[in-house]
Structure 1
Amino acid sequence: MKHIHIQQNEWLIRVTFDCAEQKINTLSHQVMNELCALLKQFESAPQKVISFESAKQDIFIAGADIKELQQINDVEMAKEKAHFGQKIFKTLAALPQTKVAVINGSCVGGGCELALACDFRLATDNPKTKIGLPEVKLGIIPGWGGTQRLPRLIGLPAALSMILPGKLVSASKAYRLHLVDKVISCIDLEEQVEQFLENLQNSSFQTDLVNRRQPKNTLGKLKQFIGDTAAARFYILKKARQQVLKTTKGLYPAPLAVLDVYEKKCGFDEGIQRELIEFSNLAPSDICKNLIAIFFLTQEVKRQQREAYSDVVTLPKTGAVIGAGVMGGGIAWLMSSKGLSVRLKDIQWQSIELGYQKVVEYFNQLKKRGKVKQGEIDAAINRIGGSLDYSGFNRVDMAIEAVVEVIDVKQKVLQEAEAALPETSLLCTNTSALSVTEMASVLKRPEQFCGIHFFNPVNRMPLVEVIKGQQTNSQTIAQAISVCHLWGKVPVVVKDSPGFLVNRILLPYLNEAAYLLEEGADIEKVDQVMTDFGMPMGPFQLADQVGIDVGYKVAKILEASFGERMQVAPVLEHLYAKLKLLGKKSGRGFYRYQDQEVQVNELLYQSPTVKDSEDKSDAEIIDRLMLVMVNEAAHCIDEGIVENAGQLDLAMVMGTGFPAWRGGLCRWADNVGCAEVAKRLDALQQTVGSRYQAATYLRTCAKQGRGFYQ
């Protein structure tokens, strides 16, 4: 079965990728073999120009076949695969014809490396056109020459800014970087492509394209000269390494391996050998396999949601947010940034002003990173209108309630909103722990109501929990899922239950840290151990970030629902009720925040519930904090709060920053072994307390010799 097709005339060969029975083009071993055979034929072909194109909509080439990458189990196998790709693209680059990649859609990984091996790159202004080398996100580095060709084309600093974070750029940004040579409109696409290909027969046209890549003035030439010096290279790599270590804490080896490739300035052939070695060491690693597992989880959850909620939906063009605090402002920002006209409603103008401030703050962050221009910001902010009443709600397609976490208040607000909205509107609550079903009990259209729980900050946290109440229909859930995808979020559907999924698992983690403090554990050490484990911040830092008041209230909800195993640590009650500490927002919590300086709040060690200092080993801290989460995850799966371990792991990675390189909470438990987990829980139950009693589901897994992933 052919995956590559060619058309040719006396001067042109058009190579079109169209992988059979696939929605996208990937460079599988079969496709690469096919390409290798064609390139050998082209070596003696009389044509002057070869174009590489795609028959797939919105896709050029999506890279190597990740399933094949997942099957690499040793260094030699990795070397063989990488060397094969390097050899093919080296053959492509050496062809006597002028080669051009015609990019209309996603061009990533191996697809980008193929394009880099061409002489020129033509891209379309299709919004789906994204170009880059995102391999580090899978725990590897570009292995088919990308580390060598990209910096030679756009310079080392620009190449590092793309490769190290796995960043994709638009066609316009790629043009500014000189990564592509021309951007054309999607309108009359075929005519423009043919014209460009015809022009490539003219050597002066090619010369003009090449000259455009060169600096035009003296200052630009001077910068280029300085950038090529050994001193500049040393400085660039040193700063890049510092930034990588700051961002990843050294826990993700792939970005560091990229820098190791560039450590020594060398020729192309030696460079790809260095690339080959680093790729081959990374590809068989557990970290690579775990990151690939997360990638497949994302795809699998989307597939499961399409099958479970296949209703045809209408996406909203107008939205409303009720409750204009920090979270409400974040949701309003998200809606307006995606083109919706938004009503931002509260009971006082001061709160609406706070919501607007959050909108401006998020847009300014994007502006600082070059993601948006001021004109786009002004237009988006103008799409938001503040109101103290429900005026304009009769034209709203979707409304999200984000008021205080008090069930009576939410019910009253939701009743008012439902009365003001059109009968076809989607009404949602952003509650983090309260019952969606109980809220729906006061509504006339409970089937059109669900929970959409965003995580703070809205502009950075990808997860959204979509909560299905007892009367919520599948059409409503399908619409909520589609909206989340449209807004660039990762939705996970969960059952209505106290704390839902993420908070129900995360709060015991924070609560157990408080118990450790009561036993005399050092706050900074506990936080350091967990950041070394891979968490984005320690439990005490996280509690301060979330707000001790918020965490305490959710913890009390869970305690009321689940009893002894969720009993709130007395020190938390002391912090909240007696000391009135709120965390970072008030300047004091487990830490003191003063003038950019952060120090442990030593007063906590004097709390009546805290014992004298007692050293806790790293292993004990990890077991205490991790196993309580694993145990609650087992309860959640057993109760059907989430469909399976994969969805749970995706939620924990996307919603809490659980280290993706560990593959997720359940996968971590499987690596430890469920029998071992149950054994450690039994020991903790004996020495610490009954809250460590192993869940029935976990005991069953241990008894049957299986894990969360079967």
Structure 2
Amino acid sequence: MIFEGQAVKVAVDEARVATVILDLAGESVNKFNSLTLAELGQAVDVLKHTDDLQGVMFTSAKDVFVVGADITEFISWFKMTDEELTDKLRDVHHLFTDISNLSCPTVAAINGIALGGGMELSLACDYRVMADTAKIGLPETQLGIYPGWGGTVRLPRLIGADNACEWICGGAQKRSEDAMKDGAVDAVVSADKVNESARHLIQQVIDGKLDYHARRDELRAPMVFSPIEKMMVFESVRGVVGAKAGKHYPAPMAAIKTMEKGISQTMEKAIETEIKGFIKLAKGPVAKSLVTLFLSDQVIKKTASKYAKGATPVKQAAVLGAGIMGGGVAYQSASKGTPIIMKDIRPEALELGLSEANKLFNGQVERGRLTTAKAFKAMNAIVPALSYGEFEHVDLVVEAVVENVKVKKSVLAETETKIADDAILTSNTSTISITELAKDLKRPENFCGMHFFNPVHRMPLVEVIRGEKTSDAAIAKTVAYAQAMGKTPIVVNDCPGFLVNRVLFPYFAGFSLMMEEGADFQQVDKVMERFGWPMGPAYLLDVVGVDTAFHADQVMAQGYPDRMKHEGKNAVDRLFELERFGQKNGQGFYTYEPDRKGKPKKIFNEEINALLAPVVTSKTALTEEDIIARMMIPLCIETVRCLEENIVASAAEADMGLIYGIGFPPYLGGALHYLDQMGLQVFCDLADKYSHLGKLYEPTAKMRDMANNNTTYYGA
């Protein structure tokens, strides 16, 4: 060894070829923290002063190459002054430039994931060999920034400006075949041959078969475009990316701007252009929100793993109630390898559930994500049943019958007599108290909530709800099953609506109050969609189901009468009365017709205004700012109440629950992060402007105390 640290080692063989081994001590992956960067710099200094080197290979001793920067350290960079951050970025650029200027050919042996800074390291090398199982990418735009260590400079020169825009703006992880096709790597081999292949590349240079000097000269020079070529590339990319990213996510468009400018500059000048644009993004609120979300996601995954620790895996599951939801649960379980019995009392319901699961498996086959054989095998792991015949072998049951407390209690009590004493019983209720549902059970300690969101295969969140008598063992097994299904579980305590729906219904209540004042629901939808929600409240109610919302609203009104009970009929009550249940029967706030792919297409029909007229009690002119405030204030205050009442354990879990469960705009970082960014005093002052609307708009006493003390939910 000519260098040996805690993260980086360097060895030189008898042929004078050096191997830089990335192996961060005490970690399962390699990442660029301050230690790794410092040691890599020291290692490169040693290489620069080592005589007669014939080549350098950058390798990993772990299953990954480098997963990127250590975000827990990197977030502190965002708090630096512009000058300090510029210096930090330049330090890494100097390191990577030193690698690209070594006096011998360099090869990155990418044996596993190489993301962000890990890929930028590989781009600083002359050649890249990639394992066929590896993935590479520059996902920084998903954090509200763009690649800041040369990615926007080197990638366009390597694979072309159009491809680089797609890679960087999309932020996707690229498989080996795509990387090879676009020219990002020079060879793809099996993982066990990566180092050998990298060594062979160096030998080809030594033998004069490859000219690494010519490659360096080409990649350092400005790219040559005619004005018309440049316009065609970047204008077309700008249109596609701009439409997809939207105004709330500036990083993709900023990356395009930086690349457009940088491709015509020398390498050194282009790096300065990249640094300048990076700093502007890093200091913006979106980067702060998205990085906070990334860290929060890590927190909730670690928390879930702690809950699941020691739980025996679910080998056989069951779902009660077929239909769309039951079919979705069955599909998700079977697709991730856990066999499941799907029971219903009606054969036609079982057919619907099986049809739903089959449709989802066929979709995976059509998209090339599953072979027909694997889809067939997974489909066979769903066993339809009209009786409890095999339930004695079931480890965990998900009850997903109609959202009615009497029906659920009856089904749960019956099921408990058919399963083993240590089997876990769960309810996929969206609002009904778990403690209440457990009252007629003989083993309430083995019962908890397991609330999936529709559509099950797309929505990542599962709320695991602890009732008064729920045991730790029941929580552990349910969390472990949710993880095995590929979901992100968040454990919450019992209350009507739990976390997500408890917060969502004050949001709907704010909408209903505006409807009473003659608001145009189309305008409200458009305003909230522009604000960043995937769909406005009227459209969301149609998707959730007006009947579902009506019943849930009654539960919430009973649970929180001081703020969620309303006098007279509101818009949801009126549509329920008219049996306009939303997408499920083609009529709600909007009318729905199938599009060419058979998906429901939203259409506005003028008759709805006359149908809703009986619930309109006044006419109030509402500005866009009014609409946003009146929708967001109740939601934010109720999220705070959930945290203060220990329904949810942390700000991170609360915010991720809303983002994963109801599509809260990610660029805002979640409701509590949004309050931190706005400032609690500013928020309380805003809420006071709408105090005449009732307790939904009344900040808690603790919020006012925090505002006075200038404290935040996320702390420093």
1:447 alignment partner in structure 2: 445
Checking the alignment, whether the CA contact within 8 Å between 1:589 and 1:601 is kept in structure 2 is no
Which residue of 690, 694, 700 corresponds with 1:689? 694
1:497 alignment partner in structure 2: 495
CA drift at 1:513: 0.5
Which residue of 239, 246, 251 corresponds with 2:248? 251
Checking the alignment, whether the CA contact within 8 Å between 2:575 and 2:588 is kept in structure 1 is no
Which residue of 615, 637, 641 corresponds with 2:621? 615
Per the alignment, in what secondary structure is the counterpart of residue 420 of structure 1?
A: coil
Q: Does 1:565 align with 2:563?
A: yes
1:578 alignment partner in structure 2: 577
Whole-angstrom distance in 1 between the partners of 2:334 and 2:208: 44
Whole-angstrom distance in 1 between the partners of 2:341 and 2:663: 31
Which residue of 146, 150, 161 corresponds with 1:145? 150
2:654 alignment partner in structure 1: 648
CA drift at 1:405: 0.7
Whole-angstrom distance in 1 between the partners of 2:606 and 2:103: 72
Per the alignment, in what secondary structure is the counterpart of residue 60 of structure 1?
A: coil
CA drift at 1:404: 0.8
Per the alignment, in what secondary structure is the counterpart of residue 711 of structure 2?
A: coil
Checking the alignment, whether the CA contact within 8 Å between 1:291 and 1:660 is kept in structure 2 is yes
Per the alignment, in what secondary structure is the counterpart of residue 64 of structure 1?
A: coil
Change (3 A) 1:228 1:581: farther
Change (3 A) 1:456 1:568: farther
Q: Which amino acid aligns with 1:116?
A: L
Whole-angstrom distance in 2 between the partners of 1:435 and 1:571: 24
CA-to-aligned-CA distance 1:517-557 (integer Å, 9 cap, x gap): 11011212212221222222211121111111111111110
1:223 alignment partner in structure 2: none
Which residue of 541, 544, 549 corresponds with 1:543? 541
Q: Which amino acid aligns with 1:681?
A: A
Which residue of 9, 26, 34 corresponds with 1:5? 9
Change (3 A) 1:592 1:120: same
Q: Which amino acid aligns with 1:254?
A: A
Whole-angstrom distance in 2 between the partners of 1:14 and 1:31: 16
CA-to-aligned-CA distance 1:30-88 (integer Å, 9 cap, x gap): 432332232233234423332222334x3321212323432223443333333332332
Per the alignment, in what secondary structure is the counterpart of residue 137 of structure 1?
A: helix
Per the alignment, in what secondary structure is the counterpart of residue 532 of structure 1?
A: helix
Whole-angstrom distance in 1 between the partners of 2:241 and 2:362: 24
Which residue of 69, 73, 93 corresponds with 2:100? 93
Whole-angstrom distance in 2 between the partners of 1:367 and 1:322: 27
More displaced 10-residue stretch of structure 1: 424-433 or 290-299: 424-433
CA-to-aligned-CA distance 1:541-579 (integer Å, 9 cap, x gap): 211111111111111100011113002472235423432
Whole-angstrom distance in 2 between the partners of 1:420 and 1:708: 46
More displaced 10-residue stretch of structure 1: 634-643 or 550-559: 634-643
1:218 alignment partner in structure 2: none
2:218 alignment partner in structure 1: none
2:609 alignment partner in structure 1: 605
CA drift at 1:266: 2.7
CA drift at 1:114: 0.9
2:286 alignment partner in structure 1: 287
1:217 alignment partner in structure 2: none
Residue correspondence of structure 1 range 423-434 to structure 2 within 5 A: 423-434=421-432
Checking the alignment, whether the CA contact within 8 Å between 2:205 and 2:211 is kept in structure 1 is no
Q: Does 1:46 align with 2:47?
A: no
Whole-angstrom distance in 2 between the partners of 1:592 and 1:630: 31
Q: Which amino acid aligns with 1:671?
A: Q
Per the alignment, in what secondary structure is the counterpart of residue 9 of structure 2?
A: strand
Checking the alignment, whether the CA contact within 8 Å between 2:66 and 2:113 is kept in structure 1 is yes
Structure 2 unmatched ranges of 5 or more: 213-223, 596-600
Q: Which amino acid aligns with 1:297?
A: S
2:258 alignment partner in structure 1: 261
1:116 alignment partner in structure 2: 123
Which residue of 495, 510, 526 corresponds with 1:512? 510
Per the alignment, in what secondary structure is the counterpart of residue 244 of structure 2?
A: helix
Q: Which amino acid aligns with 2:32?
A: L
1:471 alignment partner in structure 2: 469
Whole-angstrom distance in 2 between the partners of 1:155 and 1:363: 36
Q: Does 1:637 align with 2:643?
A: yes
Whole-angstrom distance in 2 between the partners of 1:391 and 1:228: 71
Change (3 A) 1:376 1:454: same
Normalising by the residue count of structure 1, what TM-score does the alignment of the two structures yield? Answer: 0.89
1:359 alignment partner in structure 2: 357
Q: Which amino acid aligns with 1:650?
A: M
Per the alignment, in what secondary structure is the counterpart of residue 21 of structure 2?
A: strand
Q: Which amino acid aligns with 1:50?
A: V
Whole-angstrom distance in 2 between the partners of 1:431 and 1:208: 67
Structure 1 unmatched ranges of 5 or more: 212-226
Q: Does 1:200 align with 2:196?
A: no
Per the alignment, in what secondary structure is the counterpart of residue 706 of structure 1?
A: coil
Per the alignment, in what secondary structure is the counterpart of residue 385 of structure 1?
A: strand
Checking the alignment, whether the CA contact within 8 Å between 2:345 and 2:386 is kept in structure 1 is yes
Whole-angstrom distance in 2 between the partners of 1:162 and 1:341: 37
Per the alignment, in what secondary structure is the counterpart of residue 56 of structure 2?
A: strand
Per the alignment, in what secondary structure is the counterpart of residue 593 of structure 1?
A: strand
CA drift at 1:9: 1.4
Which residue of 344, 347, 368 corresponds with 2:345? 347
Q: Does 1:133 align with 2:138?
A: yes
CA drift at 1:172: 5.6
Q: Which amino acid aligns with 1:661?
A: Y
2:91 alignment partner in structure 1: 84
Checking the alignment, whether the CA contact within 8 Å between 2:317 and 2:396 is kept in structure 1 is yes
Change (3 A) 1:498 1:593: same
CA drift at 1:453: 1.0
Whole-angstrom distance in 2 between the partners of 1:592 and 1:35: 61
Q: Does 1:55 align with 2:61?
A: yes
Change (3 A) 1:253 1:560: same
Per the alignment, in what secondary structure is the counterpart of residue 570 of structure 2?
A: helix
CA drift at 1:604: 4.0
CA drift at 1:138: 0.9
Normalising by the residue count of structure 2, what TM-score does the alignment of the two structures yield? Answer: 0.88
Checking the alignment, whether the CA contact within 8 Å between 1:49 and 1:197 is kept in structure 2 is no
Checking the alignment, whether the CA contact within 8 Å between 2:546 and 2:572 is kept in structure 1 is no
Which residue of 293, 311, 314 corresponds with 1:313? 311
Q: Does 1:24 align with 2:29?
A: yes
1:330 alignment partner in structure 2: 328
Whole-angstrom distance in 1 between the partners of 2:367 and 2:251: 24
* Equivalent residue pairs, number: 687
Checking the alignment, whether the CA contact within 8 Å between 2:574 and 2:615 is kept in structure 1 is no
CA-to-aligned-CA distance 1:464-507 (integer Å, 9 cap, x gap): 11111122211222222233333332221100110000100111
1:219 alignment partner in structure 2: none
Q: Which amino acid aligns with 2:10?
A: I
CA-to-aligned-CA distance 1:406-457 (integer Å, 9 cap, x gap): 1222223223433333444333221111122222333343322221111112
Per the alignment, in what secondary structure is the counterpart of residue 337 of structure 2?
A: coil
Change (3 A) 1:416 1:493: same
